[in-house]
Amino acid sequence: MFTKTLKIVGCLSAVLFSASHSSAQGTGSAVDCSRIDKSQSPLFITFEGAELKHALLRLHNNSRCAVLIPTNQLQGSLKVVRQADGRAKFETVEELKDGSRVPVVYNLFNRRGSKDTVIVSDGCVVMTSSLFPQQSIVFAIPLDDFKRNADVGVEFNYPWEEDNGSAMGGAFGHYVFFRNEYLPKRL
């Protein structure tokens, strides 16, 4: 098992969130990423419970399209992707199983003083994993992170933003948050 690593990153940059309808790069067709349950956000995180000094959180995909999540899950499958120049590129993409527990790479944001963001990863290998519509995954956060008044932010991206000339340039640029104050006080 990999040891937990923490990296301090510079100032918190603007948090981006996409509109419910976006245009796919290069296809010319509109992609419907609207919300399935109109009373919830397209992606949202809920508290599931606690276990051994960890809070268990559930990341829900309430949109009509898949999203890409950074994880430390090492089981993946190869996918052949055609590049604009006609060449083929092999990518490892993990399709996350609905309801499974996943080692998600997440950020800790402290809105109460610190201007730094901490990226938390269970290892040095970060895989891109697909979370499909109407599915969810569970991940664990040490309770000590919440005792430091940190908020949890999970980065995500849409498949058409991956490595094909989008403004995101293949980097994760959207966030879904679980605010520190959402954690039950009893913990």
Q: Is 76 exposed, middle or buried (0-12, 13-18, 19+ CB in 10 A)?
A: middle
Instruction: Quote the CA–CA distance of 158 and 168 in Å, as a whole number.
Output: 10
Note down the domain range covering 140. 5-12+33-162
Report the number of distinct structural domains present in the chain: 1
Cα 161–Cα 167–Cα 172 angle in degrees, nearest 5? 55
Q: Are strands 127-131 and 21-23 parallel, antiparallel or unpaired?
A: unpaired
Q: Is residue 69 included in any domain, yes or no?
A: yes
In this prediction, residue 29 has a pLDDT band, given cuts at 50, 70 and 90, of low
| In the predicted structure, residue 103 carries a pLDDT above the cut 50 | yes
Q: Is 50 exceeded by the pLDDT of residue 178?
A: yes
Reading the block at residue 4, the tokens are 């937990």
User: Any idea what DSSP says for residue 64?
Assistant: S
More confident residue, 73 or 27: 73
Q: Coil, strand, or helix at residue 115?
A: coil
Confirm whether 17 is domain-assigned.
no
**Residue with tokens 């690593």, as numbered in its chain:** 5
In a domain, 75, yes or no: yes
Task: State yes or no: pLDDT of 156 exceeds 80.
Answer: yes
pLDDT in tens, 49-92: 999 999 999 999 999 999 999 988 776 556 677 888 888 877 66
Residue 59 domain-assigned?
yes
Of 80, 141, 135, 133, residue with least CA distance to 107: 141
Residue 180 lies in a domain: no
Whether residue 104 lies inside any domain: the answer is yes
Residue 158 lies in a domain: yes
- Does residue 42 lie in a domain region? yes
